[in-house]
Structure 1
Amino acid sequence: MSILPDHTLYTIGMNPSPGGHDLNILFSGEGTPVPRHKIGPIIHDYCLIHTVLTGQGVFECAGTVHHCRAGDTFVILPGVLFSYEADDRNPWHYNWVALQEKGTNLLLADMGVTPARPIIRCTEETELNALVEMYRHLRLGFNQSDHPWLEDLQASGWLRLLLHKLAMLNREFLPSSSNDVPDIERGVRQTERWISTQYHQQLSIDQMAKALGYHRAHLSKMFKQHTGLSPMQYLMKVRIEKAKSLMRSSFSIHEIASSVGFNDALYFSKQFRKWTGMTPSEYKYSLEKSSNKT
């Protein structure tokens, strides 16, 4: 812990190895500024999230003033002009975390946070205490080991929990989700996702229907209406496309067949030729020949 001239409490943890994951943390801290302590108006090239634990202050973003108190989280977005100032009688005490810009605006928009709505409210003490614990774990992990990338990995996990909690607190402002998608369209999407992750298993239409909660006849009908293929035809298409992507590797035809859900290499060869016009061996040879030319 350290004290700055304009703070009665100030502690910060710097990520020793940022950039290793899609959620890149720069630093996280906790502080209590002196009365009337002000930052800005300035612009950051990264995102900065503050959660007020006690006290109060004023946050101005995109020309709008927001009065914040305990339980409020104010979000500073990259490239947006902002300023914030502690109250002159009851200055706020807050936790904060800074994120790299890449993908941040899209992520926060999905959480319902925009320049016009940069505040997330928390009215329950238990919810605020949960946020405090997440900030604490996130911050305290830095500079504790000889492997910085592990600290980044741990911090990234706590950050995801923190963002999830903030998104749930802000759920009335979340954009439309898959719950607003018609049932048939949602069912087709679920089936496509399920097949794309389970294609290597021995699957049947009965298994698909049971796993997804549909009658097999209904699943087949709605899926074919929207894709032009039956679920089993779509499964075969996915398997063949996955097999094609593996043909550039050093794996044998038998290993590739097994990896995409075929126990019988001869049946795999027959289906592969049906979908591509070539046997697996011919296709693999054509790729190798093309590669040698370049």
Structure 2
Amino acid sequence: MREDLYGVTINPRPGAGEAVVLFAGNNRTPPLHRVGPHMLDYHLVHLVVSGQGSFSAGGRQYELRAGDCFFIAPGELAGYESDEADPWTYRWIGFRGTDVDYRLRELGIGPDTPVVEAAGSRRLRALFSRTQEALRSGKPGCDLQAGAYLRLFFAELADRRALAVALEGEGPAEAELNRRIGLAIRFLALQYHRPVSVEELARETGYHRAYLSRMFKKATGLSPAQYLLKLRMERAKALLSEPLTVAQIAASVGYADPFHFSKMFKKWHGSAPTELRGQTIGMERFQPRTR
């Protein structure tokens, strides 16, 4: 099926969470069509549907063809250009989320490995297309539907990576480690609203606390405690737009003492909860629920 010349669809109902689609698009480019080099503040992935072109990032240039995927991370200077004789057609998805950086590392995607070669298939093309169609519908569930397609895309890449590792005979121990670190991340993402200790996390994953902490930091760049704090502070900031008191927000992110919560919040965000609420949404709009 021939792609439309150009189209981009913005998520009309963006939520917040582990992986959120911001927009999706497609382009059948003219010869030597160039984008960048530029720097983004979100993740962007392209799937080359047909044709060929080049992608530059991290001081390296990659020659890509139909079926290849290339990823651009936030804060990374990157650019790409279609071939003169056989310009490419591609689809793209822009996304962000609390779990995205770890998920991409788990898939072997990073600054040194931004390309997944010959990953394309009719299934992947369909996932990109359906993501855009979901956003275009504008239905109440379009954000959830688009996010589901993004997860299915990640799942497809994970299955392909696991198969490649198996074919190369590389270590099942590393795969098991990644699985358990993923379990630890999901546990924190679901249990941040209550007291969570490294000891409890170690019991859940079956690792010694010291080893878990070391491997967790290697995978995410943060210790379990730092990662938990990050989850709580990001969630607390999001809750400022809700009609909740500071004490209620504190309790919602695992702090029994609102004064200690406010101190940690200010240290993390640079402003106290009430100050930041006034800066972002205006105190005159804030009327907490009373019972």
Tell me the TM-score normalised to structure 1 length: 0.54
Conserved? CA contact 2:58–2:78, under 8 Å: yes
SS at match of 2:135: coil
Pair 1:40–1:173, CA change in 2 (3 A) = farther
1:137 counterpart residue number: 130
1:120 counterpart residue number: 116
1:45 counterpart residue number: 41
Conserved? CA contact 1:122–1:169, under 8 Å: no
Aligned pairs (5 A) from 1:1-294: 9-100=5-96, 102-122=98-118, 128-147=121-140, 150-171=141-162, 172=164
Pair 1:23–1:176, CA change in 2 (3 A) = farther
Q: Give the whole-Å Cα distance in 1 for the aligned partners of 2:10 and 2:171.
A: 36
Pair 1:158–1:35, CA change in 2 (3 A) = same
Pair 1:181–1:131, CA change in 2 (3 A) = closer
Amino acid at match of 1:144: S
SS at match of 1:108: helix
2:226 counterpart residue number: none
Amino acid at match of 2:125: V
1:25 deviates by: 0.7
Amino acid at match of 2:31: P
Conserved? CA contact 1:21–1:156, under 8 Å: no
Q: Give the whole-Å Cα distance in 2 for the aligned partners of 1:62 and 1:41.
A: 11
Q: Percent identity?
A: 31
Q: Give the whole-Å Cα distance in 1 for the aligned partners of 2:58 and 2:84.
A: 23
Runs of 4+ residues deviating >3 angstroms: 170-182
Q: Give the whole-Å Cα distance in 1 for the aligned partners of 2:82 and 2:36.
A: 12
Q: Give the whole-Å Cα distance in 2 for the aligned partners of 1:73 and 1:9.
A: 19
| Cα root mean square deviation, aligned | 3.5
Conserved? CA contact 1:46–1:101, under 8 Å: no
Q: Give the whole-Å Cα distance in 2 for the aligned partners of 1:89 and 1:100.
A: 34
SS at match of 1:135: helix
Q: Give the whole-Å Cα distance in 2 for the aligned partners of 1:33 and 1:14.
A: 20
Q: Who wins on radius of gyration, i.e. which is larger? A: 1
1:178 deviates by: 5.5
1:156 deviates by: 0.8
Q: How many residues align?
A: 182
Deviations 1:162-219 (A, max 9, x none): 111123333447997766659xxx8xx9xxx9xxxxxxxxxxxxxxxxxxxxxxxxxx
1:143 deviates by: 3.8
1:48 deviates by: 0.5
Amino acid at match of 2:144: L
1:57 deviates by: 0.3
Conserved? CA contact 2:4–2:26, under 8 Å: no
Amino acid at match of 1:25: V
Structure 1 unaligned residues grouped into runs of 5+ = 1-6, 194-222, 228-289
SS at match of 2:6: strand
Conserved? CA contact 1:112–1:173, under 8 Å: no
1:111 deviates by: 0.8
Tell me the TM-score normalised to structure 2 length: 0.55
Deviations 1:39-98 (A, max 9, x none): 111111111000101100000010000000011000111111111000011011111100
